[in-house]
Amino acid sequence: MTDKPVLQPGPDHPITVTPNHNRVIVTVAGKVVADTRNALTLQESTYPPVQYVPLADVDQSLLERSSYESYCPFKGDATYYSIPLGGDKSKDAVWEYNEPYEAVAAIKGHVAFWDGRVDSVDVEAEGQRA
């Protein structure tokens, strides 16, 4: 088995992690799965920004650990959760980097939701009401 490559963010592949104090609400099948004002926005290169929500602000009773895993040379090994409430659509819908690489260490203890596998990931602007 070969070692996994570890890459550092840089000018050709920038990654930033910034606090997002706007309210982030994730829903599946009409239920709120996550609700926080403590998300982190991870912006990687030209990809759309991803909201990383503290696991403490997620209704973990709605999550089921998946056997699926993936690897990102910039972030590390990811493990996944499914959301049974959402049926097949929500399989492997949530990922977490338990030991993220140093460049993105802030996302430890946070999870992200795959936009197409949940009903919504809403980011409310300051002053907006739910």
Look-up: residue for tokens 């994730």? Answer: 26
Percent of the chain clearing pLDDT 70 (strictly above): 95
Residue 82's pLDDT band, with cuts at 50, 70 and 90, is: very high
pLDDT band at 3 (very low <50, low <70, confident <90, very high): confident
Per-residue confidence band for 125, with pLDDT thresholds at 50, 70 and 90: confident
Model pLDDT for residues 84-116, shown as the tens digit of each residue: 999 999 999 999 999 999 999 999 999 999 999
Q: Please report the pLDDT score of residue 127 as a whole number.
A: 60
DSSP state of 60: G
| pLDDT over threshold 70, residue 130 | no
pTM attached to this predicted model: 0.93
Give residue-wise pLDDT tens across range 48-73: 999 999 999 999 999 999 999 999 99
